Amino acid sequence: MKRTKIVDALKSVDFNHDILVKGWVRSHRNSKAVDFIALNDGSTINNIQIVVDPTSMDAEALKSITTGACIGVTGTLVQSQGAGQSVEIQSKAIEIYGLCPSDYPMQKKGQSFEYMRKYAHLRLRTNTFGAVFRIRHNMAIAIHQYFHEHGYYYFHTPLITASDAEGAGEMFQVTTLDLSRTGKTGEVPYEKDFFGKKTSLTVSGQLEGELGATALGGIYTFGPTFRAENSNTPRHLAEFWMIEPEVAFLDKDELMDLEEDFIKFCVRWALEHCKDDLEFLNKMIDKNLLETLQSVIKEDFVRLTYTEGIEILQAAVKNGKKFEFPVTEWGMDLSSEHERYLVEEHFKRPVIMTDYPSEIKAFYMKRNADGKTMQGTDVLFPRIGEIIGGSVREESYEKLVAEIKARGMAPESYSWYLDTRKYGSCPHAGFGLGFERLILFVTGMQNIRDVIPFPRTPKSAEF
């Protein structure tokens, strides 16, 4: 018999016919007359109830089917008399694929997420992680859908690169050199390395994305991104996924419109396509989750300059607000508690912050006429802080070269990038959305390590 997925079985009204379901046992309880097995196959957060007449099979075999075991059940789909489910299966035959010994680390309910992180290979089988990763999949689909519908091309940028896209030097080196045999003289013979020069894993596909945008009009990237920053926070990963649209002929206001429309589309998509999983997370993880998601798609985002933001923060401090990181003066970089104060307490809505001091932003941003600020457009979100980092790009060849030099970077390593400004330069803009930060927001999870299957963070690269 062909296997029916549990998600389909639960929706079926084709009663009193036999079906075959396969999955992992979530629980097994027995009374004198009957056994109940809750079975889940990952196709939905919901389990299907298997009702077993204990006289119908070997008693020892039935007893051996404990939480975590993998079985296949052939039986009759019937309307359920019990509360909590509409259909159930009256078992006729159970095939055991894999028993699950009692030291199964996911056996107990209510384990901490920290505990489960040690078992990232098994935590996938729990309700919460099932929900998170089904939602993660749906958000990836939403992103491709949005850009495809709006005429952007999915553009693949390299993961191995010889240039630092953010100019921040937080890169993981890629080499085939035998490191134990180099460095004695302090010199690394990069000419002998695989690529003949020093290479690293990319921190952003933006620079290559700009090449795509200034040819195809509008592109987006969606791929892994690597940062060797030693940030042990609930919002940083050393390997994360980023979505980077890059668009020709877009100005600052249009860029902000795109950021807002895109992120609202994604949240709306989650509400429409991930109902069961979101309801589960709303019950188990964050009681305000659905309300927060709904309010984000309803409200206009606040648009605020950095300078206005600093003034609000300074006024808050005057009125007694205490921050862990001090609010000093114009020019300081904001930390996530400052961003969250603006979003969660002051405006109670997402904020797009613009026009940052050049010192705290990347070299490629377009300078304003004031000479002090750059046309950055970061989106700040409740619970998350910065979810999107974006900007209008400097399109003047001379200004861009001057900026690269002023920052002590080498224009030679960006020659191909600078060619976009040399030959038919065009005004353009783009942004980067941190995929895991979006998933954090949409799922209500607290720690970024819990929204990527196998997190990479400082001192941790298991699995």
Paired tokens of 367:
């300078």
DSSP-derived letter for residue 54 is G
Tokens of 139: 């958000």
Give whichever of 25 and 270 is closer to ligand 4AD, judged by the CB atom.
Answer: 270
- 431's contact among ligand 4AD, Mg ion, none, with CB below 5 to 8 A by partner kind, is ligand 4AD
Q: Which is nearer to ligand 4AD, 280 or 363 (CB)?
A: 363
Q: Confirm or reject binding of residue 389 to Mg ion (CB under 5 A).
A: yes
- State yes or no: residue 434 binds Mg ion (CB under 5 A): no
Give just the sign of the alpha carbon dihedral 369, 372, 374, 375.
negative
Residue 237, contacted partner among ligand 4AD, Mg ion, none, CB below 5-8 A by kind: ligand 4AD
CB of 389 to Mg ion, least distance (A): 3
Using the rule CB under 5 A, is 376 a contact of Mg ion? no
390 binds, among Mg ion, ligand 4AD, none (CB under 5 to 8 A by kind): ligand 4AD
Distance of closest approach, residue 412 Cβ to Mg ion, in angstroms? 26
CB-nearer residue toward ligand 4AD: 24 or 220:
220
| Cβ-contact 211, 153 below 8 angstroms | no
The least distance separating ligand 4AD from the CB of residue 385, rounded to whole angstroms, comes to: 9
Beta pairing, strands 87-98 & 48-52: parallel
> Can you point out the beta strands (E) in 3-52?
18-30, 35-40, 48-52
Q: What b/e sequence results for 32-46 when a residue is b if at least 16 CB atoms lie within 10 Å of its CB, and e otherwise?
A: eeebebbbbbebbbb
Provide the minimum distance between the beta carbon of 386 and Mg ion in the complex, in angstroms, as a whole number.
6
Q: Which residues pair with 73 in a beta bridge?
A: 21, 94
Distance CA 430, CA 213 (A): 9
Long-range contacts of 62-67 (CB under 8 A, 24+ apart): 62/35, 62/94, 64/96, 64/99, 65/25, 65/28, 65/37, 65/94, 65/96, 65/99, 66/25, 66/28, 66/99, 66/100, 66/102, 66/104, 66/107, 67/25, 67/26, 67/27, 67/28, 67/100, 67/104, 67/107
- Which residue number, 205 or 389, has a Cβ lying nearer to Mg ion? 389
Residue count of the chain = 463
> Which among 174, 172, 322, 170 has a CA at the least distance from the CA of 231?
170
Cα–Cα distance for residue pair 232/280, rounded to 1 Å: 29
Q: Give the nearest distance from C-beta 212 to ligand 4AD in angstroms.
A: 12
CB of 27 to ligand 4AD, least distance (A): 36
Per CB under 6 A, residues contacting ligand 4AD are 165-166, 204, 206, 227, 229, 236-237, 240, 242, 244, 386-391, 430-432, 434, 436-437
| Residue whose CB is less far from ligand 4AD, 28 or 252 | 252
Shortest CB 238 distance to ligand 4AD, Å: 7
201 contacts which partner out of ligand 4AD, Mg ion, none, CB within 5 to 8 A by kind? none
Closer to Mg ion by CB, 360 or 461: give it: 360
Beta bridge partners of 72: 22, 95
Would you give the DSSP letter of residue 103? T
CB 449 within 8 A of CB 117: yes
Scan residues 188-217 and list those touching Mg ion (CB under 5 A). Answer: none
Nearer to ligand 4AD, 21 or 380 (CB): 380
Residue whose CB is nearest to Mg ion in the complex, by number? 389
Determine how many CB atoms are found less than 10 A away from the CB of residue 185: 7
Query: Which of Mg ion, ligand 4AD, none is residue 130 near (CB under 5 to 8 Å by kind)?
Result: none
Of ligand 4AD, Mg ion, none, which one does residue 75 interact with (CB within 5 to 8 Å by kind)? none
Q: Which among ligand 4AD, Mg ion, none contacts residue 24 (Cβ within 5 to 8 A by kind)?
A: none
Q: Total number of residues binding Mg ion (CB under 5 A)?
A: 1
Query: Which one of 147-155, 195-203, 274-282, 386-394 is the stretch in contact with Mg ion (CB under 5 A)?
Result: 386-394
In sequence order, which residues have a C-beta less than 8 Å from that of residue 52 and are 6 or more positions away? 34, 35, 36, 37, 62, 91, 94
From the CB of 432, what's the least distance to Mg ion, in Å?
8
Nearer to ligand 4AD among residue 4 and residue 204 (C-beta): 204
- Closest distance of CB 395 from ligand 4AD, Å: 15
75 binds Mg ion (CB under 5 A): no
Query: Please, which residue, 41 or 244, has the CB nearer to ligand 4AD?
Result: 244
Residue with Cβ nearer Mg ion (75 or 385): 385
Alpha helices in 300-414 (DSSP H): 306-318, 336-340, 397-406
Torsion, CA 150, CA 387, CA 173, CA 186, rounded to 10: 140
| Cβ-based nearer residue to ligand 4AD, 126 or 221 | 221
State the Cα–Cα distance between residues 90 and 216, nearest whole angstrom.
58
Candidate segments 56-64, 186-194, 322-330, 382-390, binder of Mg ion by CB under 5 A: 382-390
Contacted by 204, from Mg ion, ligand 4AD, none: CB < 5 to 8 Å by type:
ligand 4AD
Positions in the binding site for Mg ion (CB under 5 A): 389
